[in-house]
Amino acid sequence: MKPFLRKKAELQISQNQKLRAEVEAAEKRFRRLQELIKIQEKYLNYENKDELLAQKAECDAILFQIENWAAKHGFSERLTVI
């Protein structure tokens, strides 16, 4: 093989190896970002669930107060008849 072609082939091989290494590094970063996105989505879902659970607890407390008021004033007995 001619020295010029050999040098060109070696340079091409070197460039290919560098590109492979860069692609592997980019793929690792991409996978890590995907993992971080999943973690963030879980966190946001849990945060929203906590907020929803707090709202549900508040609604349950209000319903309990209404039921107590209705029982105190005899409405629960009337509603049972209906």
Parse the chain into domains and list their residue ranges: 3-81
Output the pLDDT for position 22: 92
Joined together, the tokens standing for residue 35 give 């993992």
Per-residue pLDDT tens over the stretch 46-72:
777 788 888 899 999 999 998 888 888
pLDDT of residue 82 exceeding 60: no
Q: Which two tokens stand for residue 27?
A: 């793929």
Contact criterion met (CB below 8 Å) for 66 and 76:
no
